[in-house]
Amino acid sequence: MDGFPRRWLPAVWFSGSMLPFLMFFCAVAGAEWHYRDATVMGTLVQLQVWHEDPSVANAGIEAVLADMRRIDAGMSTYRDDSELSRINAAAARQPIPISDELGGLIARAMEFSRLTDGAFDVTYASVGYLYDYREGVRPDHAALEDALQGVDYRHVALDPERGTIAYRQEGVRVDLGGIAKGYAVERGAEILRSRGIEHAQISAGGDTRLVGDRRGRPWLVGVRDPRDRARIVAQLPLMDEAISTSGDYERYFEADGVRYHHIIDPGSGESASGVRSVSIIGPDATLTDALSTGVFVLGAERGVELVNSLPGVEAVIVDGDGNLRFSSGLEQQH
Ligand code: ADP
Ligand code: MG
């Protein structure tokens, strides 16, 4: 990304002679920052919004959270009454009407499945649901083989004209756990902008969307050491873009020396094991969320190759040995 070195400039400039003046300015400006933490979509949502008028900032925050709750109510597979759960229960028997929003996001998810050659797969959950990371439950070989037959995004048939979705066989289920949070924070950015908010950070779990800059300097977003939560292995100055991290340390258990975590290789039905974490930086959080999961499954070599082929997209990968790997647009920084 040729924009990256350019984005460094404010950070460098900031450390120069203007520092005392800027520190004073930022302390005063700090009065207009508004912070909020909430639990939505089963994850920690954090908002940081700048606006001179606190009522505008707070109304923006409420609107974003309400929209995230709405997305969760329609798209969560943890709720039996969500639109997606109702579709999963019936779409193998006949085409089921689908809302434009859900149909649109599933279509987008299927584009990422094609782009990653099936490493990101909206139907991964046919095996994914056999694992319980809290309880340390995993499927035996026979159950896994059986469920794997339902895993293939090509089993999903969307008909945009009729507004329906159908599954080509039994046992298929769609799950948006690898893309819906990114979609929600991307919408959050649009909602804030439409209300005149030009500086904000919205994150949901590992997905972060930055609106504008941090009032005259870039946002600094850290990439965590996957084996030591307190350590940051890379820090990225970012503005007006998204960053998503997928790691093997968020939800996992260990058994017989194997780490079972929540990112599934759709080819084998087992947890993907080549890397420890993948952070993707790009123009839109829906994309960075899906790609962080997909590149995690692809592994460092194929993952970096894919990212290097996508304009405006960069990656920071902590590989299986704990070494840092960068896509070509970031390499020159290190
Ligand atoms: P999180 O922010 O929940 O940690 P990630 O972006 O790291 O999410 O993606 C992991 C989630 O994606 C899993 O919890 C699961 O819901 C879903 N998922 C797991 N494996 C795949 C896959 N191969 N393709 C698509 N989605 C997946
Ligand atoms: Mg993801």
| 226 vs 257, residue with greater confidence | 226
Is the domain of 206 the same as that of 155? no
pLDDT on residue 73:
98
- Say whether both 138 and 184 belong to one domain: no
CATH number of the domain that residue 53 is part of? 3.10.520.10
Nearest protein CA to atom 12 of ligand 1, as residue: 178
Residue 318: inside a domain: yes
**Residues 222 and 295 occupy one common structural domain:** yes
Which pLDDT band, with edges at 50, 70 and 90, does 14 fall under? Answer: very low
Residue 121 shares a structural domain with residue 61:
no
Same domain, 109 and 202: no
Whole-number pLDDT of residue 256? 84
Is residue 16 a part of any domain in this protein?
A: no
Residue 22 scores a pLDDT above 60: no
Flag whether 37 is in a domain.
yes
Query: What is the rounded CA–CA span in Å between residue 111 and residue 15?
Result: 42
**Within this chain, do residues 234 and 88 fall inside the same structural domain, yes or no?**
no
Regarding whether 238 and 159 lie in a shared domain, the answer is no
Output b/e per residue, 247-270; b: 16+ Cβ within 10 A. Answer: bbebebbeeeeeebbbbbbbeebe
The verdict on 281 and 253 lying in the same domain is yes
Which residue has the CA at smallest separation from atom 16 of ligand 1?
177
pLDDT digits (tens, 9 = 90+) for 130-144: 999 999 999 999 999
Decide whether any atom of ligand 1 lies within 6 Å of the 178 Cβ. Answer: yes
Ligand 2 midpoint to CA 5 (Å): 26
pLDDT > 70 in the chain, percent: 90
**Of 167, 197, 231, which closes a domain?**
167
pLDDT of 77-129, one tens digit each?
999 999 999 999 999 999 999 999 999 999 999 999 999 999 999 999 999 99
Domain containing 104 equals 83-167
Cα–ligand 1 centroid distance for 28 (angstroms): 40
Q: How many CA atoms lie within 13 A of 205 on its CB side?
A: 23
pLDDT at 10 over 90: no
Q: Are residues 249 and 314 both part of a single domain?
A: yes
**Both 314 and 294 in a single domain?**
yes
pLDDT value of position 110 = 98
Q: Which pLDDT band holds residue 31 (cuts at 50, 70, 90)?
A: low
Q: pLDDT digits over 151-191, tens only?
A: 999 999 999 999 999 999 999 999 999 999 999 999 999 99
In a domain, 162, yes or no: yes
Which residues are 98's β-sheet partners? none
Rounded to an integer, what distance in angstroms lies between the CA atom of residue 293 and that of residue 182?
Answer: 11
- Checking if the pLDDT of 295 tops 50, the result is yes
Residue 49 has pLDDT above 80, yes or no: yes
Mark which of 167, 198, 230 sits at the end of a domain.
167
Last residue of a domain, one of 111, 139, 167: 167
Whether 161 and 208 share a structural domain: no
Task: Tell whether pTM > 0.85.
Answer: yes
Judge if 28 and 160 occupy the same domain: no
Average pLDDT, the chain: 91
Q: What CATH number should be reported for the domain holding residue 130?
A: 1.10.3980.10
